[in-house]
Amino acid sequence: MRKKSWEKRKWLGSILFFAVLILLWELLFLLGTRWLGIWKSYAFPEPLGVLRAGLRMAANHSLWYAMAYSGLRAAAGFGLSIVIGVLVSLALGSGTKPMNYLKPFLTGVQTLPSVCWVPFAILWFGLDEKAIIFVVVMGASFSIALSVESAIRNVNPLLVRVARTMGAEGFMLYRRVIIPAGMPAFIAGLRQGWSFAWRALMAGEVMSSTVGLGHSLMMGRDLADINQVMLVMLLIIMLGIFIDRGIISQIETHVLRKRGL
Amino acid sequence: MFLEIRGVSKKFDNTAWEAVSDIDLTIKEGEFICLVGPSGCGKSTLLNMVAGLEMPTSGEIYLDGQKITAPGADRVMMFQDAALFPWLTVLENVRFGLRIMKKDPAWIEETAMKYLDMVKLSKFAHYRVHELSGGMKQRVSMARALAIDSKILLMDEPFSALDKQTINKLRDEVAQIWERTRKTVIMVTHSVEEAVFFGDRVVTMSAHPGRIRDIIPIELKRPRHIDEIDFITYRKAILEEVRSEVDRSEEEELGKA
């Protein structure tokens, strides 16, 4: 009971916070453009204008297409990054000599902002889907590989020993011990991988000219419609948070709760 | 002989002496053997070699005529830490080894419950590991090990992470369970009292290098009681032996530093 009312208060609090924020934003807009006239109204977004842009884009369906295309690319790119990341992590974990050098190399590649892969991708694939997916994969898969490798490396060795004396070896050891034991760290790695993938996707979409949220952002610029730009930016934030908080973090909570963490 | 340790030595790269040096020991089926000695005497290393988790530098170990080359379910090991799998329930932990063996699910369920019952935890079958106390965890670990019905059970200081009250209670129960199952056991312990309480024979070891110093048969009837005069006599004699070894190895370690 008490916990419920506390959670309700928290909800109310955050709604109030955003309401006040939007109100202040509107006031700032009115102050700067109408009353003082120091800003041009096309250069400063306003909440009502963002709402209008949203309704317009929803009515002509461009909003839905942009979200659907970006969503599909995100799913394909992130999915592919997970597969590649896991495969690379297994290679990293194999303990063979060249792999010892591969790890610092990947850590180095990982520091390259993913937008820097865009020119390379365009030269290689042309302005097409493959180029964008490539940028996403380059942005996310090494981060996933490195975190999966560390998830496996940090599995409590005692659990592995205990399982081996009970007859678990090879594939069985992975399936029954190493994978479930490394699961919390793996999911934490996926969360980080997702944030890399989402950023990379937007970088790719901004630079290319296919339908998607990044492209809608550039369309807003071309039309000098700052409200559309603002709307799409807010959507990008919200979708990114939704996948992280609404999906990955829910799985994480479930996995951790089982272990009493 | 059931378990034969023949001329086994083990040297780790980072030490000057052999952790285990030229050990011969034979163990009969159904025997309870306790290894005691100062830290660094190689008692845990010896146990790990029987488990197949470590390989001897020289010498061989045979179980039932088969040379030990790798870990296997015929030599289950219990550790100081219960080492339960935190993502599984109590029952699922006990089922673990049986599922590896790919037995019939109904039989697995029945067997797992039987052993949980034996350690008096059947009411907690569906609890999560983090909901258990330290003593309960070690009981689950015991049930998990016993359920496999290995040829030999290896115990590496199974009680030393628990508090005194829990230890006393658990010792009595383990003794009862052992009398029922009569499984061959090798237990490493630093407690002489524990060694005399459980052992058919107590093997004392000395450190640097790790050697067998003495093998003492304990001719006390079971169930044993730690306050009986004969028990105290055994305990005192072995304690003195171990203490002189501890002193000697400490002197060596300090002298070396």
* Chain A residue at shortest CA distance from B86: A259
Q: Which residues of A touch B (CB under 8 A)?
A: 156, 158-159, 161-169, 172, 176-177, 180-181, 183, 255, 258-261
Average pLDDT value for residue range A61-77: 95
Q: Taking a C-beta distance cutoff of 8 angstroms, is the pair A81, A136 a contact?
A: yes
Is there a contact between A163 and B96 if contact means CB atoms under 8 Å apart? yes
Q: Alpha-carbon distance B127 to B132, whole Å?
A: 8
A8 vs A60, higher pLDDT: A60
Average pLDDT value for residue range A234-256: 93
Give the residue from A141, A122, A123, A142 showing the smallest Cα distance to A132: A122
Break chain A down into helix, strand, coil percent, rounded to 5: 85, 0, 15
Q: Which of B47, B84, B87, B93 to mutate to test the interface with A (most CBs of A within 10 A)?
A: B87
Q: How far is B81 from chain A (nearest CA, A)?
A: 8
Which residue in B73, B128, B130 is closest to A166 by CB distance?
A: B73
Cross-strand partners of B62: B4, B67
Task: Mark B192-223 as b/e (b = at least 16 C-beta within 10 Å).
Answer: bbbbbbbbbbbbbbbbbbbbbbeebebebeee
Amino acid (one-letter) located at A79: G
Average pLDDT value for residue range A57-85: 95
Cross-strand partners of B212: B205
Q: Is the pLDDT of residue A137 over 90?
A: yes
**Count of A–B CB contacts within 8 Å?**
73
Give me the count of residues in chain A.
261
For the ranges A31-40, A70-79, B232-241, the lowest mean pLDDT is seen at A31-40
Percent of chain A beyond pLDDT 90?
Answer: 74
Counting beta carbons within 10 angstroms of the beta carbon of residue A118, is it exposed (0 to 12), middle (13 to 18) or buried (19 or more)? Answer: buried
Residue B27: DSSP 8-state: E
**Strand B184-188, strand B152-156: pairing:** parallel
Is there a contact between B130 and A259 if contact means CB atoms under 8 Å apart? yes
Q: Alpha-carbon distance B191 to B243, whole Å?
A: 11
**Strand B3-10, strand B20-27: pairing:** antiparallel
Is there a contact between A167 and B148 if contact means CB atoms under 8 Å apart? yes
Q: Is the pLDDT of residue A213 over 80?
A: yes
Angle at B145 between CA B130 and CA B161, to 5 degrees: 50
Is there a contact between A259 and B75 if contact means CB atoms under 8 Å apart? no
Q: How far is B254 from chain A (nearest CA, A)?
A: 30
Quick: pLDDT tens for A176-192.
999 999 999 999 999 99
What pTM did the predictor assign?
0.85
Is there a contact between A259 and B131 if contact means CB atoms under 8 Å apart? no
DSSP A139-179: HHHHHHHHHHHHHHHTS-HHHHHHHHHTT--HHHHIIIIIH
pLDDT attached to residue B73: 93
Q: What are the structural domains, with CATH classification, of chain A?
A: 1-43 (no CATH), 45-258 (1.10.3720.10)
Average pLDDT value for residue range A74-103: 90
Q: Alpha-carbon distance B226 to B239, whole Å?
A: 14
Quick: pLDDT tens for A144-173.
999 999 999 999 999 999 999 999 999 999
Q: How far is A168 from chain B (nearest CA, A)?
A: 6
Mean pLDDT, 10 residues at a time, chain B of 257 residues:
93 89 95 92 95 96 95 95 95 96 93 95 95 95 95 95 90 93 95 96 92 95 93 95 85 72
* Chain B residue at shortest CA distance from A158: B83
Task: Mark B75-106 as b/e (b = at least 16 C-beta within 10 Å).
Answer: bbbbbbbbbbbbbbbbbbbbbbbbbbeeeeee
Task: Mark B131-158 as b/e (b = at least 16 C-beta within 10 Å).
Answer: ebeebbbbbbbbbbbbbbbbbbbbbbbb
Which residue in B70, B87, B96 is closest to A166 by CB distance?
A: B96
Q: Taking a C-beta distance cutoff of 8 angstroms, is the pair A204, A127 a contact?
A: no
Residue A248: DSSP 8-state: I
Counting beta carbons within 10 angstroms of the beta carbon of residue A62, is it exposed (0 to 12), middle (13 to 18) or buried (19 or more)? Answer: middle
pLDDT attached to residue A3: 62
B82/A contact by beta carbon, under 8 A: no
Q: Which residues of A touch B152 (CB under 8 A)?
A: none
pLDDT attached to residue A52: 93
Q: Is the pLDDT of residue A1 over 60?
A: no
pLDDT attached to residue B256: 61
> From the CA atom positions of chain B, what is the Rg in Å?
19
> From the CA atom positions of chain A, what is the Rg in Å?
23
B128/A contact by beta carbon, under 8 A: yes
DSSP A41-59: TTTS--HHHHHHHHHHHHH
Which residue in B83, B88, B128 is closest to A260 by CB distance?
A: B128
Which residue in A159, A180, A259 is closest to B83 by CB distance?
A: A159
